[in-house]
Amino acid sequence: MGDSEIDQIFKIFGLHGTPSPKDWPGVTELPDFKPSFPRFKATPFDSHFKNFDKLGLDLLSQMICLDPAKRIPVKVAMNHPYFDDVAKTL
């Protein structure tokens, strides 16, 4: 991985925390995962996304979940309560 990729992954880990097999089964078997990665602690999303309400934070957290198997599918995301106001205006 190039320097910008390492910087990006460390920023992601800075938000989510460095993943473990408990959080993301199989992560340690990924070709670019290094056991030597720094161990970051997760930080609350609301400290990074201060302008989001509770519904926005909930949707965002499901959309950017580290484990791809746990990410919210697009069709499910479009029905998230965050968008309820949009549906009323259509």
Q: How far apart are the first and last CA of the chain?
A: 45
| Contacts of residue 86, Cβ cutoff 8 Å, sequence gap at least 6 | none
The per-residue pLDDT for range 37-82, each reduced to its tens digit, is 999 999 999 999 999 999 999 999 999 999 999 999 999 999 999 9
The answer, yes or no, to whether residue 6 has pLDDT greater than 90, is no
The answer, yes or no, to whether residue 85 has pLDDT greater than 80, is yes
Cα distances (angstroms) measured from residue 49 to each of 21, 52, 60, 77 = 27, 6, 10, 18
Asked if 14 and 43 touch (Cβ cutoff 8 Å), the reply is yes
pTM: 0.79
